[in-house]
């Protein structure tokens, strides 16, 4: 391990970041649930606690103050995920801590816990999370509810110029956030009730496969008129990323079985031809409107998913067919990091976005950044996306990302691979200029 180059460290710390990916809840929602330590266990930590053996129902009871926002958030994002009913919803703060404590001690070694400890130290002035500090942390979180908190954390603490937020809302705080919007609900319609909801959102009647595609386009145009800068797809949580080129006929057969029935609709697998067809339609709409498509690849947050569904190599037919599209591939494709890097090297319409990876594994993030610098053109590497539901954890993520970038660039200088000036330019590209250019963001205006 090389030493940290002080010039690079200072440069990386001073860059006003362009943040490609967040799930930050609205500040009004935050003010309802930021009442105690459980606020920082909305996701990620909770997955490691469950992996360590905590029961999912007890996890829901522990983070009960977050429960409404979590359920609403997943509904907004059209993620088919069952959130278990909490075991008890009337546990005291002390009881909730005691239920969590043994498992928290077991996840202290994971990077999610490290991110949490950086966050509480720097944002709330609490040195550790343990039986002696959870009340102090809870009070600090409750006290932080007030005007301008989001701006304080995202600007003054994290130094983020602008964040692209995936919360299925275009009604975001304009000095901090711009929306990425999902069209996955148009792809994954499965029942008459789903179509009715899409008719409601689009304001159009949907009686045919063509109507469905038209309603999707009209909805996208509405999102863009309200500021959307990207289309986001999270379907790797629900199905394989292989979107076959299916005939209209196959898709229409599936559509007609949905449209004409009052019952349950199609089983998920029977709907695949319709989903495949609609994904191709979504990409064509993104091309026509000039929006990049953000694609979730690799590890799915939560527990007990099917990782092979999310292998980024399933997407190659889309990259080959839609040369005019811009695919921003998320999360380093972890654990398929080498295949993922190869796709960004190979295809001019694919960019490599390591959002989330620095808090999954800083070690793998460093190795992958070394690999990307050696293999992928410097205009296609995106190094920061906070991928958090809370501004505080986005801050912790920004700290860990700056550490990863500063250390890798220092090592590359030590190896004699990069000169210092070259490394400075690369840092600015990865942390700011590349995403600003891909998403056409006016960061000069945002910085004012």
Catalog residues that contact Zn ion under the rule CB under 5 A: 387
- Nearest distance in Å: CB 77, Zn ion: 9
Smallest gap from residue 138 Cβ to Zn ion (A): 26
For Zn ion, the nearest residue by Cβ is: 387
Residue nearer to Zn ion on the CB measure, 163 or 410: 163
Report whether 194 contacts 231 (CB < 8 A): no
Which candidate, 368, 354, 378, 28, places its Cα nearest to that of 172? 28
23 φ/ψ angles, rounded to the nearest 5 degrees:
-125, 40
State which residue, 354 or 406, has the beta carbon closest to Zn ion. Answer: 354
Question: Residue 434: CB partners within 8 Å, gap ≥ 6?
Answer: 351, 378, 379, 380, 381, 382
**In whole angstroms, how close is the CB of 273 to Zn ion at the nearest point?**
27
Judged by CB, which is closer to Zn ion: 194, or 387?
Answer: 387
Residue among 111 and 254 whose Cβ is closer to Zn ion = 111
Cβ-based nearer residue to Zn ion, 353 or 387 = 387
Per the CB < 8 A criterion, the answer to whether 230 and 385 are in contact is no
Task: Show the CA angle centred on residue 131, arms to residues 126 and 136, nearest 5°.
Answer: 35
Residue 382 backbone phi and psi in degrees, to 5 = -115, 120
| 176 contacts 148 by C-beta, under 8 angstroms | no
Within 8 A by CB and 6+ apart from 63, the residues are: 38, 39, 41, 42, 46, 70
Toward Zn ion, which CB reaches closer, 48 or 387? 387
Q: Minimum distance from CB of 23 to Zn ion (Å)?
A: 5
Q: CB of 397: closest distance to Zn ion in angstroms?
A: 11
**Rounded to the nearest whole angstrom, what is the least distance from the CB of residue 384 to Zn ion in the complex?**
13
**Whole-angstrom distance, CA of residue 243 vs CA of residue 246:** 9
Q: Which residue(s) pair with 107 in the sheet?
A: none
């Amino acid at each position: 391990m090389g030493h940290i180059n002080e010039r690079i460290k200072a440069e990386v710390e001073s860059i006003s970041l362009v943040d490609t990916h967040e799930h930050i809840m609205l500040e009004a929602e935050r003010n309802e649930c930021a009442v105690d330590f459980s606020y920082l266990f909305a996701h990620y930590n909770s997955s490691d606690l469950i992996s360590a053996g905590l029961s999912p129902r007890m996890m829901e009871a522990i983070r009960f103050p977050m429960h409404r926002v979590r359920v609403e958030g997943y509904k907004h994002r059209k993620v088919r995920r069952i959130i278990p009913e909490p075991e008890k919803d009337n546990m005291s703060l002390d009881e909730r801590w005691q239920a969590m404590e043994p498992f928290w001690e077991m996840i202290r070694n994971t990077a999610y816990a490290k991110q949490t400890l950086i966050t509480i130290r720097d944002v709330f002035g609490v040195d550790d999370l343990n039986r002696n500090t959870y009340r102090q942390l809870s009070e600090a979180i409750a006290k932080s509810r007030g005007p301008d908190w989001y701006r304080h954390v995202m600007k003054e603490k994290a130094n983020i110029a602008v964040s692209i937020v995936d919360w299925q809302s275009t009604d975001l705080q304009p000095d901090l956030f711009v929306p990425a919007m999902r069209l996955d609900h148009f792809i994954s319609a499965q029942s008459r009730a789903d179509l009715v909801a899409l008719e409601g959102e689009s304001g159009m009647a949907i009686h045919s496969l063509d109507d469905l595609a038209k309603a999707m386009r009209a909805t996208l145009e509405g999102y863009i008129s309200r500021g959307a800068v990207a289309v986001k797809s999270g379907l790797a949580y629900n199905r394989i990323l292989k979107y076959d080129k299916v005939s209209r006929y196959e898709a229409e057969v599936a559509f007609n079985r949905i449209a004409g029935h009052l019952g349950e609709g199609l089983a998920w697998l029977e709907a695949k031809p319709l989903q495949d067809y609609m994904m191709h339609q979504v990409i064509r709409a993104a091309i026509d409107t000039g929006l990049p498509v953000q694609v979730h690849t690799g590890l799915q947050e939560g527990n007990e998913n099917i990782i092979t569904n999310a292998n980024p190599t399933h997407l190659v037919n889309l990259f080959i067919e839609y040369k005019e599209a811009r695919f921003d591939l998320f999360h380093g494709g972890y654990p398929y990091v080498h295949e993922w890097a190869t796709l960004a090297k190979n295809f001019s319409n694919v960019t490599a976005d390591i959002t989330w990876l620095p808090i999954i594994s800083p070690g793998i993030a460093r190795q992958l950044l070394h690999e990307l610098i050696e293999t992928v053109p410097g205009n296609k590497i995106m190094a920061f996306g906070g991928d958090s539901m809370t501004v505080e954890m986005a801050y912790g993520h920004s700290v860990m990302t700056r550490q990863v970038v500063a250390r890798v660039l220092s090592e590359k200088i030590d190896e004699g691979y990069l000169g210092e000036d070259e490394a400075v330019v690369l840092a600015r590209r990865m942390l700011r200029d590349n995403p600003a250019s891909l998403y056409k963001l006016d960061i000069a205006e945002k910085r004012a």
